[in-house]
């Protein structure tokens, strides 16, 4: 079994690499921009859709608000980016918000930020791959209705790529973003020119008679309408995720790192704003109508079925059709969009394991997350992220509408706490600074961070208020559980550290006074003789063979055979009226140790090692279960004496597997 | 985790019992009859239904053949019972058909019979519990449509009862059968009297305008109709399962065992025949119409929905309603029927583990199936049967129509082979017998066994021909896979026996020449010091500490600390460019043993023992994985040195857990 799994692993993962072998050159800022922008820019492929879908619940009148909701989202982005540029200069280590919150607000705040980011990175993968699956199924109709499985395959693909360490080069990471920006740019320019000359066509869904959903009988009027606009805003805030990428990626940049990262961040903001607003205005100009609940909203239309399909087609695909007509451009744009979405997923697969590594290094996550795999990626982090994202896309059937409700909670928890941390940071610097102009600069910085904090806290409240009941509670629960889990793990590690640390009182030369060896007898065959021989070779002060009598007939047979063989070791038989193996043995060991508590007891257990997996099933797993029980007993060492059966490929033919004749000078135990 | 599971087990299973404590008094034959008859008689609750359902596929004209199909089934039963009475006298050991086939036709035939019976016992549980679920949901309409889950709960209930060892007493086993026979007897007598006086009412489904199913446009005419009658016959043969119960239960009877078992078998035949034929004739008299495919067969009826429900109600419930009218009698009969069906399931839970025990004793199944559980049942066999039956009822949704197609294949394979074995048996006796009248008697017996063999082979062919494509292939595949698996297991055990047997050439006093101890170093904390102390206490000829360098920084830190502590053991650092732990260690061990192949290498691995299950997850499982790799290496013993963390409840507070100060006279290694 081992060999089969090993072979499978080699095929999927490739040959192992030597530690420290793979190094990437520092990124110049023009390369860094597309490399770090994929997450932030790829949201152009789904955030405008979600704004339109949410507003459409209130009917036709509402969707004209979409561009203005977009403007509000971009305004928040502008403030956050300005404030983040300060954060990057102050914390250019690459540990990002986790470090800022830990150092300024205490380690617990840091753990909350860590949990929030882990949850959001997982959702980035789920959302990006699900969106990619929808673009793919819009282009390849036979896949429609199976988006969940398509997305599942996508996640698996990302896991394998990352375990192999592929797609980490700057070309592979930057090309999809460049292509996407160029493609959407061309779309917007051509669309804009056509609009100016009055030749812009309508989108396929433009004729849909969009009625308000039953929950919004008054359309956009009244309190319900107002809350819906807020909800569209908080859903559209998905466009803001990814702007934290430059602060975690700062360590990969060329010097001057912080300055370059600030430049990258600014350009991400500019490009994201142009693309998002451009798409929203073009959607308005071509009359795109997306229906969140087609059954009720399109019921009035005669050709409801066709319109339902049209109103579910992703926005960029509809725009491409309106601008270029059906054909090649639509397919090219869809492909490029799929690429950039997968690229955003790839980025999460780099960031999540790195964050998990930092958290594990600080003792908040299991140490296994620090291990580098065969290809030098943090394999356990990659597998963990892949598993979580896979569960999400399969459970929702790649349901973007559902996933988007869970999204951005984490990112805004992290923004809010990190901006609060920055306010503290500047305050602390202020207390230690004297010069007037220096103090004025710090005051300005603190004011900007405070603005960022206030705004992100406000958005967080809006997000909570409008999305909690729609699914955000699940993300919140995830963050809470992760936070508590991490604090618990840290506490456990701290306890273990205290318990196991070597201090002055620890004696390094203390030894047990005597060694008592016990050979466990079950069937009298060669492996048992080997166990007896090995136990004798260690020359313990006391050596006995012990048999637990769970089957009187077999016990009698074994005792007779033992005497006939003339083994130079006394055989003790322990009664076991309840046919239990471990109980009587533990009782026996405790009795021996009660007399001499400083003795060391070594229990030798003969074990069969088989070569084929099914052979394992037909041998009693007594040894394994017994070892688990004995491990709880202080002062007892369990020594497994393996016997390699012929099927392992070792075994009898090996010269060393049978013990040599006794050294005549050896004292028998 | 252990303690929680232990507590759960105690609640479900109860306190353990002492070996040999529970003994049952031998059964007098009047008690044995109902005790052993539950399986054979309970088929009255579903076999007539299945005959009617199958014939109904050809429309109204066909169902009048049902009583005559019943007569044919009962004729086969009569011959088989006569022949089985001979088998019981010849083989009164309780090992039944498995022994008859093994001894007369060779062990492979025995294994085929064993597999076939295991498959059929599993199906008995699945069919009986599913039928019970249908009677229950006919009485409690809220359960309708959830029969699969109801049956699943039923299987789980039987498993728990059997693990606890409940329901094994003669009263619990015989009462359901007595009640059932009385209830059906009253139904038939009252129904017969009403029919004679012309007052018998019609069944609720009597007005259903049963059309032939689309596959049978010509009704019962032609070849298709003939095959359908054969299929009704082979489906109705489900009534024949259970007549092998007395031959496996013979050991529980009072003396003269074989004679009493023969008496029991004869009466089972008489009662089964009366009940089955009585039910079929009464069904004919009350005009019961069951529809296998209600959508197509009842489409013509205006009140199709009502009739669909009526035509799906179990036959006995319909008869009770026709004879007594709706009300208490129907409910009483349903309850009694459910009881007898569960009782038949219980009997399989006694027979299956016993047969598995015999097969495991002969080395055809894993030895774990020989272990008696806390309450003296063969728990592993009980769990195995429960799991298989659970899968069947859940996968088919307690679909009787599907399960019945898999049924009786196994029982007729077993009948055929065991009757063939008996023919051989009598032939062998004939060759050693001289007296004329004795020889004539043997000739008569051989003729009877031959008739039994011919008939069951014929039925087996009919079953194959009519049911194979409908699902019997699955049962056949199960039997083939089980047979091959058992032969493979036996071959493996034989090989291991040969490999491990102690013979003249085995030296019992051979010892390895020297002991090399290696302490595996990962983190320098107290558990490592304990491992070093324990290794030193065994005073090996060579002792070294080995650290695999997978993280250079940590290695350097450990080496410094090692030197500062002044540990009297040399520390070897092994390079590991691929961050692999086992590889470099194995290489190092092989090099040391290459020089001195007769040395014994003992590898001491410090292990943390934690008290809470989740703590296990946050510690590297390096020790476990390493032990698995080292077990494949000849001449290497792996000694785990456990350290019980405080959370286990042992640990530091225990006086014996820290080694005592060194004995000054001790030689350091």
CATH number, domain with residue A634:
3.40.50
Q: Contacts of residue A633 in chain B, CB cutoff 8 Å?
A: 642, 650
Same domain? For B373 and B520 the reply is no
List the 274-303 stretch of B: residues with Cβ below 8 A of A: none
Same domain? For B538 and B591 the reply is yes
Tell me: pLDDT of A92 over 70. yes
Under the banding of pLDDT at 50, 70 and 90, the label for residue A666 is very low
**Distance (Å) from the C-alpha of residue A91 to the closest C-alpha of chain B?**
25
Query: What percent of chain B lies above the pLDDT cut of 70?
Result: 93
For residue A571, give the H/E element and its range: strand A571-575
List the 8-37 stretch of B: residues with Cβ below 8 A of A: 16-19
What are A280's two structure tokens? 């929203």
**Is there a contact between B499 and A651 if contact means CB atoms under 8 Å apart?**
yes
**Distance (Å) from the C-alpha of residue A208 to the closest C-alpha of chain B?**
40
Mean pLDDT of B39-46: 92
Same domain? For B127 and B272 the reply is yes
Q: Contacts of residue B534 in chain A, CB cutoff 8 Å?
A: 512, 600, 637
**Domain CATH number, residue B228:** 1.20.1740.10
Mean pLDDT of A55-67: 87
pLDDT at A3: 57
For residue A593, give the H/E element and its range: helix A582-595
Residue among B525, B540, B662 whose CB faces A502 most closely: B525
Q: Contacts of residue A646 in chain B, CB cutoff 8 Å?
A: 495, 499
Please check whether residue B616 lies inside any domain of the structure: yes
pLDDT at A82: 93
Q: With an 8 Å Cβ cutoff, is B663 touching chain A?
A: yes
Mutate to test the interface with A, among B6, B14, B357, B509 (most CBs of A within 10 A): B509
pLDDT at A654: 41
Tell me: pLDDT of A655 over 50. no
Q: With an 8 Å Cβ cutoff, is A624 touching chain B?
A: no
**Is there a contact between A634 and B618 if contact means CB atoms under 8 Å apart?**
no
pLDDT in tens, B428-449: 999 988 889 999 999 999 999 9
Under the banding of pLDDT at 50, 70 and 90, the label for residue A304 is low
In chain A, the residue whose alpha carbon lies closest to the alpha carbon of B15 is A578
**Is there a contact between A607 and B16 if contact means CB atoms under 8 Å apart?**
no
CA distance B148 to A1: 36
pLDDT at B22: 53
Same domain? For A449 and A392 the reply is yes
**Is there a contact between B511 and A662 if contact means CB atoms under 8 Å apart?**
yes
| CA-CA-CA-CA dihedral for B216, B217, B219, B221, to nearest 10 | -100
Mean pLDDT of B144-160: 92
Same domain? For A292 and A379 the reply is yes
Tell me: pLDDT of B390 over 90. yes
CA distance B343 to B56: 30
Please check whether residue B256 lies inside any domain of the structure: yes
Mean pLDDT lowest among A160-169, A389-398, A659-668: A659-668
Please check whether residue B27 lies inside any domain of the structure: no
What are A664's two structure tokens? 């005549």
pLDDT higher at A376 or B361: B361
Mutate to test the interface with A, among B633, B637, B667 (most CBs of A within 10 A): B637
Same domain? For A455 and A554 the reply is no
Q: Contacts of residue A368 in chain B, CB cutoff 8 Å?
A: 620
Tell me: pLDDT of A317 over 50. yes
**Is there a contact between A500 and B525 if contact means CB atoms under 8 Å apart?**
yes
Under the banding of pLDDT at 50, 70 and 90, the label for residue A446 is very high
**Is there a contact between A501 and B525 if contact means CB atoms under 8 Å apart?**
yes
pLDDT higher at B418 or B511: B418
pLDDT at A367: 83
pLDDT in tens, A543-594: 999 999 888 888 999 999 898 888 889 999 998 887 788 889 999 999 888 8
CB B487 within 8 A of CB B364: yes
Q: Contacts of residue A619 in chain B, CB cutoff 8 Å?
A: 366-367
Q: How far is CA A248 from CA A96, A350, A355, B100, in A?
A: 5, 10, 9, 76
Interface predicted TM-score of the whole assembly (ipTM), two decimals: 0.76
Residue among B515, B615, B630 whose CB faces A492 most closely: B615
**Is there a contact between A662 and B510 if contact means CB atoms under 8 Å apart?**
yes
Count Cβ atoms below 10 Å from residue B447 Cβ, excluding itself. Answer: 13
CB B281 within 8 A of CB B67: yes
Mean pLDDT of A111-121: 95
What are A409's two structure tokens? 């909670």
List the 460-499 stretch of B: residues with Cβ below 8 A of A: 489, 492-493, 495-496, 499
Mutate to test the interface with A, among B10, B522, B660, B663 (most CBs of A within 10 A): B660
Tell me: pLDDT of A516 over 60. yes
pLDDT at B512: 80
Same domain? For A194 and A150 the reply is yes
List the 494-523 stretch of A: residues with Cβ below 8 A of B: 495-496, 499-502, 506-515
B633 sits in the region (left: phi over 0; alpha: psi -120 to 50; else beta) called beta
Query: What percent of chain A lies above the pLDDT cut of 70?
Result: 92
**Is there a contact between A537 and B371 if contact means CB atoms under 8 Å apart?**
no
Please check whether residue B296 lies inside any domain of the structure: yes
Same domain? For B463 and B521 the reply is no
Q: What is the DSSP annotation of A396-440?
A: HTS-HHHHHHHTTHHHHHHHHHHHHHHHHHHHHHHHT---HHHHH
Q: Write phi, then psi, for A519 (nearest 5 degrees).
A: -100, 125
pLDDT at A669: 33
pLDDT at A48: 94
Long-range contacts of B21-28 (CB under 8 A, 24+ apart): B21/B376, B22/B165, B22/B168, B22/B376, B24/B168, B24/B169, B24/B170, B24/B252, B26/B252, B26/B253, B26/B254, B26/B255, B27/B170, B27/B252, B27/B253, B27/B254, B28/B254, B28/B260
CA angle in degrees (0–180, nearest 5) for A246-A80-A428:
90
Q: With an 8 Å Cβ cutoff, is B536 touching chain A?
A: yes
Q: With an 8 Å Cβ cutoff, is B549 touching chain A?
A: no
Tell me: pLDDT of B2 over 60. no
Structural domain boundaries, residue A628: 515-657
Residue among B489, B550, B645 whose CB faces A496 most closely: B645
Q: Tell whether the torsion through CA atoms of B475, B477, B480 and B482 is positive or negative.
A: negative
In chain B, the residue whose alpha carbon lies closest to the alpha carbon of A366 is B618
Q: With an 8 Å Cβ cutoff, is B534 touching chain A?
A: yes
**Distance (Å) from the C-alpha of residue B63 to the closest C-alpha of chain A?**
46
pLDDT higher at B471 or B611: B471
pLDDT at A661: 39
Please check whether residue A12 lies inside any domain of the structure: no
Under the banding of pLDDT at 50, 70 and 90, the label for residue B652 is very low
pLDDT at B660: 39
Residue among A499, A609, A662 whose CB faces B632 most closely: A609
**Is there a contact between A661 and B507 if contact means CB atoms under 8 Å apart?**
yes
Tell me: pLDDT of A649 over 90. no
Count Cβ atoms below 10 Å from residue A629 Cβ, excluding itself. Answer: 16
pLDDT in tens, B514-544: 889 999 998 888 889 889 988 988 888 999 9
Please check whether residue A5 lies inside any domain of the structure: no
Mutate to test the interface with B, among A505, A637, A667 (most CBs of B within 10 A): A637
Tell me: pLDDT of B302 over 80. no
Q: With an 8 Å Cβ cutoff, is A255 touching chain B?
A: no
**Is there a contact between A16 and B507 if contact means CB atoms under 8 Å apart?**
no
Mean pLDDT lowest among A543-552, B596-605, B618-627: B618-627
**Is there a contact between B578 and A18 if contact means CB atoms under 8 Å apart?**
yes
Under the banding of pLDDT at 50, 70 and 90, the label for residue B471 is confident
Please check whether residue B508 lies inside any domain of the structure: no
pLDDT at B667: 37
Query: B307 has which bridge partners?
Result: none
DSSP designation for B662: P
pLDDT at A44: 93
**Distance (Å) from the C-alpha of residue A444 to the closest C-alpha of chain B?**
43
Same domain? For B168 and B246 the reply is yes
Buried-state track A177-207, b at ≥16 Cβ within 10 A, e below 16:
bbbbbebbebbbebbbebeeeeebeebbbbe
CB A374 within 8 A of CB A14: yes
Same domain? For B107 and B215 the reply is yes
- What lies within 8 Å, CB to CB, of A466 at 6+ separation is A227, A230, A231, A234
Same domain? For B450 and B552 the reply is no
Number of domains in chain A: 2
The mean pLDDT value of chain A amounts to 86
CA angle in degrees (0–180, nearest 5) for B663-B567-A518:
50
- Determine the length of chain B: 669
pLDDT at A342: 95
Q: Contacts of residue A627 in chain B, CB cutoff 8 Å?
A: 640
Mutate to test the interface with A, among B611, B618, B664 (most CBs of A within 10 A): B618
pLDDT in tens, A245-292: 888 888 888 888 889 999 999 999 999 999 999 999 999 999 888 888
Q: Count how many Cα atoms sit within 13 Å of the Cα of residue A605 in the half-sphere of its side chain.
A: 28
Size of interface A-B (CB pairs under 8 A): 259
Residue among B372, B500, B639 whose CB faces A602 most closely: B639
Mean pLDDT of A337-346: 94
Tell me: pLDDT of A470 over 60. yes
Please check whether residue B581 lies inside any domain of the structure: yes
pLDDT in tens, B88-102: 999 988 888 999 999
pLDDT in tens, B167-223: 777 788 889 999 999 999 999 999 999 999 988 888 888 888 778 888 887 777 788
Mean pLDDT lowest among A37-51, A185-199, A620-634, B254-268: A620-634
**Is there a contact between A631 and B607 if contact means CB atoms under 8 Å apart?**
yes
pLDDT at B496: 87
Same domain? For A523 and A482 the reply is no
pLDDT at B301: 63
pLDDT in tens, B334-365: 999 999 999 999 999 989 999 999 999 999 99
Q: With an 8 Å Cβ cutoff, is A638 touching chain B?
A: yes
Residue among A18, A514, A638 whose CB faces B639 most closely: A638
CA distance A457 to A450: 10
The mean pLDDT value of chain B amounts to 86
Q: Would strands B636-644 and A636-644 be described as parallel, antiparallel, or unpaired? A: antiparallel
CA distance A236 to B147: 47
pLDDT in tens, B13-40: 777 776 665 556 788 888 889 989 999 9
CB B261 within 8 A of CB B250: yes
Q: Contacts of residue B641 in chain A, CB cutoff 8 Å?
A: 637
pLDDT in tens, A350-365: 899 999 999 999 999 9
């Amino acid at each position: 079994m081992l060999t089969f799994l090993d072979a499978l692993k080699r095929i999927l993962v490739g040959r192992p690499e030597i530690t420290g072998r793979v190094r990437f050159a520092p990124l110049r800022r023009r390369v860094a921009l597309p490399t770090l922008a994929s997450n932030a820019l790829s949201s152009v492929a789904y955030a405008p859709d979600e704004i339109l879908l949410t507003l459409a619940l209130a009917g036709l009148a509402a969707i004209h608000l979409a561009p203005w909701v977009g403007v509000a989202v971009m305004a928040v982005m502008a403030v956050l980016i300005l404030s983040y540029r300060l954060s990057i200069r102050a914390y250019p280590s690459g540990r990002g918000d986790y470090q800022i919150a830990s150092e300024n607000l205490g380690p617990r705040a840091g753990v909350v930020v860590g949990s929030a980011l882990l949850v959001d990175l997982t959702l980035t993968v789920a959302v990006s791959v699900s969106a990619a699956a929808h673009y793919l199924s819009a282009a390849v109709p036979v896949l429609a209705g199976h988006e969940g499985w398509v997305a599942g395959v996508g996640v698996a693909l990302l896991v394998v790529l990352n375990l192999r360490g592929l797609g980490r080069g700057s070309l592979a990471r930057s090309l999809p973003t460049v292509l996407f920006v160029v493609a959407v740019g061309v779309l917007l320019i051509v669309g804009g020119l056509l609009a100016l000359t009055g030749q812009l066509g309508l989108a396929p869904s433009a004729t849909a008679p969009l009625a308000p959903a039953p929950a919004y009988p008054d359309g956009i009027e009244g309190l319900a309408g107002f809350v819906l606009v807020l909800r569209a805003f908080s859903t559209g805030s998905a466009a803001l995720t990814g702007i934290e990428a430059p602060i975690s990626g700062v360590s990969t940049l060329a010097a001057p790192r912080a300055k370059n990262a600030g430049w990258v961040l600014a350009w991400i903001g500019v490009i994201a704003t142009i693309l998002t607003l451009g798409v929203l205005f073009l959607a308005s100009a071509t009359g795109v109508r997306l229906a969140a609940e087609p059954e009720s909203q399109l019921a009035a239309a005669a050709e409801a079925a066709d319109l339902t399909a049209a109103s579910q087609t992703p926005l960029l695909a509809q725009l491409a059709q309106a601008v270029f007509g059906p054909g090649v451009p639509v397919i090219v744009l869809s492909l490029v969009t799929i690429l950039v979405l997968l690229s955003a997923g790839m980025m999460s697969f780099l960031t999540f394991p790195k964050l998990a590594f930092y958290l594990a290094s600080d003792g908040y996550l299991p140490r296994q997350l620090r291990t580098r795999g065969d290809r030098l990626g943090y394999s356990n982090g990659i597998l963990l992220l892949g598993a979580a994202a896979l569960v999400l896309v399969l459970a929702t059937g790649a349901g973007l509408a559902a996933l988007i409700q869970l999204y951005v909670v984490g990112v805004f928890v992290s923004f809010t706490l990190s901006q609060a941390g920055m306010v503290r940071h500047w305050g602390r610097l202020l207390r230690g600074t004297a010069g007037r102009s220096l103090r004025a600069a710090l005051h300005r910085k603190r004011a900007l961070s405070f603005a960022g904090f206030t705004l992100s806290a406000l958005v967080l409240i809006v997000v909570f208020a409008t999305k909690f009941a729609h699914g955000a509670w699940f993300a919140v629960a995830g963050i809470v559980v992760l936070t508590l889990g991490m604090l618990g793990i840290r506490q456990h590690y701290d306890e273990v550290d205290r318990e196991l640390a070597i201090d002055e009182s620890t004696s390094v030369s203390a030894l047990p006074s005597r060694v008592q060896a016990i050979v466990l007898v079950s069937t009298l065959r060669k492996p048992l003789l080997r166990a007896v021989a090995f136990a004798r070779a260690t020359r313990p002060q006391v050596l006995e063979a012990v048999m637990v009598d769970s089957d009187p007939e077999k016990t009698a047979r074994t005792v007779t055979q033992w005497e006939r063989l003339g083994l130079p070791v006394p055989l003790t038989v322990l009664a076991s009226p309840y046919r239990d193996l471990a109980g009587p043995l533990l009782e026996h060991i405790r009795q021996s140790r009660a007399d001499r508590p400083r003795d060391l007891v070594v229990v030798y257990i003969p074990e069969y090692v088989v070569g084929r997996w099914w052979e394992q099933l037909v041998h009693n797993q007594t040894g394994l279960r017994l070892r688990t029980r004995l491990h709880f007993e202080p002062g007892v060492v369990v020594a497994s004496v393996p016997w390699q059966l012929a099927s392992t490929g070792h075994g009898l033919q090996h010269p060393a597997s049978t013990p040599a004749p006794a050294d005549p000078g050896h004292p028998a135990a």
